Structure 1
Amino acid sequence: MVQRVRYYLFLRDVLSLALTTFGGPQAHLAHFHKVLIDKRHYLTEEELMEINSLCQILPGPTSTQTLTAIGFKIGGPNLAYLTLLVWILPAVSLMTAAAMIMSSIEAKNWSLEFTRFIQPIAVGFVSYGAYMISQKTVTTKTGIALMVMAAVASYFLQTPYVFPIILVVSGLITALKYKAQPKELDRKKVIVPWNNFLLWAGVLIFAAVLGAITKALPVRLFENFYRNGSLVFGGGQVLAPLLYTEFVQYAPKPYHPTSHEEFLSGYAIAQSLPGPVFSFSAYIGTLSMRDQGTLGKLLGALASAGGIFLPGTFLIFFTIRFWESLKKYRAVRASLEGITAASAGLVATSAIIMFQPLENTLLNFSTTIITFLLLAFTRIPSPLIILGGLILGFLLRGF
């Protein structure tokens, strides 16, 4: 009975996160910390950072993988898949609804001005996340040096493939300090269960073959997004240019092409909604099948969302199963110092990168600073800060 209640509470917390977390994986991490560690104590800060760092090395949506991996750690595969469903459902539903509206009425003049405070607030969340991570997990001179170098490297080499490289190199550097780690007397040979890896590869091949044979639009959509989800590092901001190329500039003939205006409007909506930015895939899938009626649109959204979220889920489930055994080795445990420090550097840089596209105004700068101070020195819940930003945006429209 205790376990059932715990699982229910965990899923309720996941739903709360799905409805209140803005700003992408780095900002999500700060929310996860507040709810899952500070409030509920489901895991330690070190465990959260280990899982998040592991997810950054793998392709796919980092925050989604992190949250589902936590569900797996608490309750196994069943709770993990429920976690995935609860986490993505609100954002996917809202993006599908937005695409349905976009496909039926002329919406080019929609104004999203009321969300103008959300982006600087999100930067404030990311900044606070970087501060918290560095304060609690970066405690050595080596860690500080790696954090700074990771921040500088990720700033000047703004490509998604640099993230896993930075994490791996940082881990290898501190792995050399393995002798400082205590020996594990109960260390066992690492056994790698390949089931989830084979499942990932099997679905990829099966979808490609089935799509080529049947030419069915939902299958081809699933295959397209599954392939992209298997190759993308760095979150929704990296997925966007790939989708733009495939569905706007060079849309495959079976799909209804998405216009430039529709794409940008949808991406702005995705950025202003809580939850995973990868939910943008449901928007594109709906518009791609707008000629197939309401059922076809819904099928397009389902195929696209399933395609983008499943590969990363399969890969993290594959890795997390032998991670506990693997980290019993001293070199692996020593590498966590470097990986965690580099993660802190990446989060800090992401705050700077996220702020740069915003207008360099006193209002945006002040909003970011105030958000950081509210998180650091008050107990105001994150949803209230976000709600306050939205209300302020409504009141100051036109000013």
Structure 2
Amino acid sequence: MLELEVSGFVKEDRSLLEILAVSAKLGVTSFGGPIAHLGYFHNEYIRRRKWLNEQDYADIVALCQFLPGPASSQVGIAIGVIRAGMLGGLIAWLGFTLPSVIALVLFALLLQGFDIGSAGWIHGLKIVAVAIVVQAILGMGQKLAPDRNRATIAVLVAAVSILWQTASSQVLLIGIAGIVGMLLYKNATVPNTASLHVPISRSMAILCLSVFFKLLILLPVLRPIVQVEWLSLFDSFYRSGSLVFGGGHVVLPMLEREVVPTGWISKSDFLAGYGAAQAVPGPLFTFAAYLGTMISGVKGAVIATTAIFLPAYLLVVGALPFWQTLRQSAKVQGALIGINAAVVGILLAALYNPLWTTAILAPVDFVLAAILFLMLVFWKLPPWIVVISGAIGGILIS
């Protein structure tokens, strides 16, 4: 019996080490954003290692597209959970996230240590961010707002977001869009799929969902009472990670409204970091590590990174056992259609403010943005090449 138990521990340790090694490899090599990440995951986890079958992987991707948060990171967490339980999900997230966290922390320390915030290449990074967000809007718009009703939702949400710029406005708009989608698309197609086996009990799932909602409700209440910087930081990033639908780029306006008006970071430094985040592999949500470092050093990076990814982990663990039931609801499918259209509108508003108003200050800035967009969309160059080109262009035009 003892030998069997020891053997079980050894097997579990090997499985966790394997998850760490594979996810870290993906964290170093996965350039190109969430959609590209899903391709890397499929190649590594499904084709090469056969940890899941094609149907199970499709189910996980569908779930993570449905949940708020960083979709690619959530897919990695879900695969880790199915492979080795809750600890496996944590290890999979750590391996995939840590490389870009380290890179962005170092960039933030460089920005602070050498006072290069006004350098030409920093302005170039802001212009890179414009080109990348335009690309994201076009891609997401074609997929998530392709008809009259959804395009109307997107434009109305963009208009209200621009004219009513508060932290709560986006949450309210997403909720309204979900209700509208539920009414307009009440006969949405319900996918017919096989059940996904998940090694998580429903009681544990309910506990994780309970923790998620309690933190979302209690943190804003405690923040003005306690008035401690780390709690305020945790609250801002936790809410951003909890309420972002549509993946990495949509977190931009959420975070901007949390950290710039409060005076934690200047708009210029915010956009410089966002541009730099395009040059590193892994999830775009690691932009939080840069912001945390700029606000409160390495300690701030740890708090911000943990806070923005914690909702993703809690939601994945909490939703996996119930996903099959949710997918069979036409109302849920309709609400998701409306929410996705609203996400396009929120990103469209962010293109105007803070991106366009801060980065495109002269005709030559627009020319550089157009060239970078051409490189991204039509030449299909890797994002890191576009980022470097933008930095060099910023130096030349400054």
TM-score bracket for the superposition, by shorter chain length: 0.5 to 0.7
What residue number does 1:85 align with?
A: 94
Alignment partner of 1:13 out of 3, 26, 29: 26
Q: 1:236 to 1:110 in 2, by over 3 A?
A: closer
Report the secondary structure of 1:346's partner residue.
Answer: helix
Q: 1:266 to 1:91 in 2, by over 3 A?
A: farther
Q: 1:351 to 1:53 in 2, by over 3 A?
A: farther
Task: For residues 131-163 of structure 1, give each alpha carbon's deviation from its aligned partner in whole angstroms, at most 9, with x where no partner exists.
Answer: 112223333332222222222222222223222
Task: For residues 42-81 of structure 1, give each alpha carbon's deviation from its aligned partner in whole angstroms, at most 9, with x where no partner exists.
Answer: 89999868745631xxxxxx4xx33321212333244543
After TM superposition, the score normalised by the length of structure 2 is 0.66
What residue number does 1:294 align with?
A: none
Task: For residues 298-344 of structure 1, give each alpha carbon's deviation from its aligned partner in whole angstroms, at most 9, with x where no partner exists.
Answer: 5x346534653354344433554334431311111122222222222
Alignment partner of 1:139 out of 146, 151, 155: 146
Report the secondary structure of 1:380's partner residue.
Answer: coil
User: What is the CA–CA distance in structure 1 between the aligned matches of 2:344 and 2:174, rounded to whole Å?
Assistant: 10
Q: Does the alignment pair 1:195 with 2:210?
A: no
1:175–1:333 contact (8 Å) kept in structure 2: yes
What residue number does 1:152 align with?
A: 159
Report the secondary structure of 2:134's partner residue.
Answer: helix
User: What is the CA–CA distance in structure 2 between the aligned matches of 1:86 and 1:33, rounded to whole Å?
Assistant: 19
What residue number does 1:377 align with?
A: 378
Q: Which amino acid aligns with 1:309?
A: I
1:143–1:341 contact (8 Å) kept in structure 2: yes
Q: Deviation of residue 90 (structure 1)?
A: 4.4
What residue number does 2:316 align with?
A: 317
User: What is the CA–CA distance in structure 1 between the aligned matches of 2:212 and 2:378, rounded to whole Å?
Assistant: 44
What residue number does 1:125 align with?
A: 132
2:27–2:98 contact (8 Å) kept in structure 1: no
What residue number does 1:72 align with?
A: 77
Tell me how many residue pairs correspond in the alignment.
341
Q: 1:338 to 1:307 in 2, by over 3 A?
A: closer
Q: Deviation of residue 369 (structure 1)?
A: 1.9
User: What is the CA–CA distance in structure 2 between the aligned matches of 1:71 and 1:52, rounded to whole Å?
Assistant: 13
User: What is the CA–CA distance in structure 1 between the aligned matches of 2:108 and 2:260, rounded to whole Å?
Assistant: 15
1:170–1:335 contact (8 Å) kept in structure 2: yes
Q: 1:367 to 1:75 in 2, by over 3 A?
A: same
What residue number does 1:337 align with?
A: 337
Q: Deviation of residue 355 (structure 1)?
A: 0.9
User: What is the CA–CA distance in structure 2 between the aligned matches of 1:244 and 1:127, rounded to whole Å?
Assistant: 22
1:15–1:86 contact (8 Å) kept in structure 2: no
Q: Which amino acid aligns with 1:282?
A: T
What residue number does 1:270 align with?
A: 273
Report the secondary structure of 1:15's partner residue.
Answer: helix
1:171–1:337 contact (8 Å) kept in structure 2: yes
Q: 1:331 to 1:364 in 2, by over 3 A?
A: same
Q: 1:226 to 1:128 in 2, by over 3 A?
A: same
Matches of residues 1-399 of structure 1 in structure 2 within 5 Å?
Answer: 11-17=24-30, 31-37=33-39, 51=64, 54-55=67-68, 62=69, 65-76=70-81, 77-78=86-87, 80-86=89-95, 88-90=97-99, 92-94=101-103, 96-97=105-106, 107-108=114-115, 111-176=118-183, 177-182=185-190, 193-200=205-212, 222-232=230-240, 235=251, 238-239=254-255, 267=270, 270-274=273-277, 275=284, 276-279=286-289, 280-286=291-297, 300-301=299-300, 304-305=303-304, 308-309=307-308, 311-317=310-316, 320-321=319-320, 322-353=322-353, 354-394=355-395, 396=396, 399=398
Most deviating of 6-15 and 111-120:
6-15
Report the secondary structure of 1:139's partner residue.
Answer: coil
Q: Which amino acid aligns with 2:77?
A: F
Q: Deviation of residue 121 (structure 1)?
A: 1.5
Unaligned stretches of 5+ residues in structure 1: 22-30, 56-61, 208-214, 249-261, 287-297
Q: 1:158 to 1:301 in 2, by over 3 A?
A: closer
Q: 1:128 to 1:6 in 2, by over 3 A?
A: farther
2:275–2:387 contact (8 Å) kept in structure 1: no
Report the secondary structure of 1:360's partner residue.
Answer: coil
Q: Deviation of residue 126 (structure 1)?
A: 0.9
Q: 1:183 to 1:83 in 2, by over 3 A?
A: closer
Q: 1:204 to 1:306 in 2, by over 3 A?
A: farther
Task: For residues 203-255 of structure 1, give each alpha carbon's deviation from its aligned partner in whole angstroms, at most 9, with x where no partner exists.
Answer: 89999xxxxxxx9xxxx66544333333445646655675678887xxxxxxx
Q: Deviation of residue 386 (structure 1)?
A: 1.1
User: What is the CA–CA distance in structure 2 between the aligned matches of 1:244 and 1:147, rounded to whole Å?
Assistant: 25
After TM superposition, the score normalised by the length of structure 1 is 0.66
What is the percent sequence identity of the aligned residues? Answer: 15
Q: Which amino acid aligns with 1:36?
A: L
Q: 1:382 to 1:109 in 2, by over 3 A?
A: closer
Q: Which amino acid aligns with 1:13?
A: L
Q: Deviation of residue 362 (structure 1)?
A: 1.3
Task: For residues 166-185 of structure 1, give each alpha carbon's deviation from its aligned partner in whole angstroms, at most 9, with x where no partner exists.
Answer: 22222222222323535869
Aligned residues: CA RMSD: 4.6
